[in-house]
Amino acid sequence: MRILIVKISAMGDVLHALPVLDYLKQASPGCEIDWVVEEAFADLLSGNPLISRLHTVRFKKWKRKPLSGETIKEILNVRNGLVQRAYDLAIDIQGNIKSGMVVWLSGCPRRVGFSRAATQESLNILFTNRRIEPHPENRHITDQYLRIAESSFDLKFSGLQLHTDICTLPEDDLVADELVKRYRASGPLFLIHTGTTWQTKFWHEQGWIELGRRIISSFPGSTLLFSWGNEGERSAAERITTALGSQAVQLERLSIMRLAALVKKVNLVMGGDTGIVHMAAAVGTPTVSYYRASDGLRSGPRGEKHAVVQTPMPCARCFRTRCEKDGECRESITPQLLMQAITRILC
């Protein structure tokens, strides 16, 4: 059986979908699984032994020049590559117009996806021919993806042990080893990422500084590594590490794969609802994460090695990107709450 997974973006969502691979291999032993992903996130899946072929798309680029000859040529190349594979089943676990177009272009006769109520964009249902209604028990986004995959097989995903991993290259592992050797002292090694996408997912710098001081006091010999992905995050990391002193380090900017390699080697990863936290969960590294506008029960890492802190605000999980109560919401996530979570995971 040849199966196509369509999960194009974003980083965290691609990582949440990784358990679908192991599920399909258990549900249909011997099947071949291909995946369609945005080019920027292809490294997260590259080299995965459960994937037979990776198809990359460049919707971000195509959107800028949708009618250019180059764009049309690239889309036709993607379509031809999909059609040639002659899929028996195409699974759309993105649920928007882009992913719907991809499953339709594949030419696969069996195209399964979300129901209208569960899609990101309702026009997605024009491109699928079997639509799965959400189940109230499947609150976590990974369970929602698995429910769509499960609909074509007899095997229930509930209760299965589903393995996930990110395959890093030897050169990336070597860089990570060098960083660990350089910065690890006598205590645990923390990797902290303060950045995220929405304004309502950020914490505040003073909170990170106070939390960092508590960590250093509670775990003598610990080192706090701060990663970043853009200029704003770099500046914030610089101010925080300067305030914390010699046990806090602002890292150089790392590629996705070098960051993944480093994530595998630290003792704990911390952040908000951001891709690096979900990356850590995918490779089995303990995490502590906080959630404000987003829902920790829907997208937070699960299991004994992970602690999820949700704001106590009555309007939590609002999924708003901007809010007049943003400051109050940030303050509701206290260093004490996060420190208690860290202690629970590491002690």
204: helix, strand or coil: coil
Listed in order, strand segments (DSSP E) in 145-198 are: 189-193
State the DSSP code for 186: S
Could you tell me the domains of the chain?
2-150 (3.40.50.2000), 170-346 (3.40.50.2000)
Per-residue pLDDT tens over the stretch 130-145: 999 988 889 999 999 9
pTM value is 0.95
174: helix, strand or coil: helix
Buried b / exposed e along 114-151 (16+ C-beta atoms within 10 A): bbeebbeeeebbebbeebbeeeeebebbbbbbbbbbbe
Rounded to whole angstroms, how far apart are CA atoms 111 and 116?
14
pLDDT tens, the chain, 347 aa long = 999 999 999 999 999 999 999 999 999 999 999 999 999 999 999 999 999 999 999 999 999 999 999 999 999 999 999 999 999 999 999 999 999 999 999 999 999 999 999 999 999 999 999 999 988 889 999 999 999 999 999 999 999 999 999 999 999 999 999 999 999 999 999 999 999 888 899 999 999 999 999 999 999 999 999 999 999 999 999 999 999 999 999 999 999 999 999 999 999 999 999 999 999 999 999 999 999 999 999 999 999 999 999 999 999 999 999 999 999 999 999 999 999 999 999 99
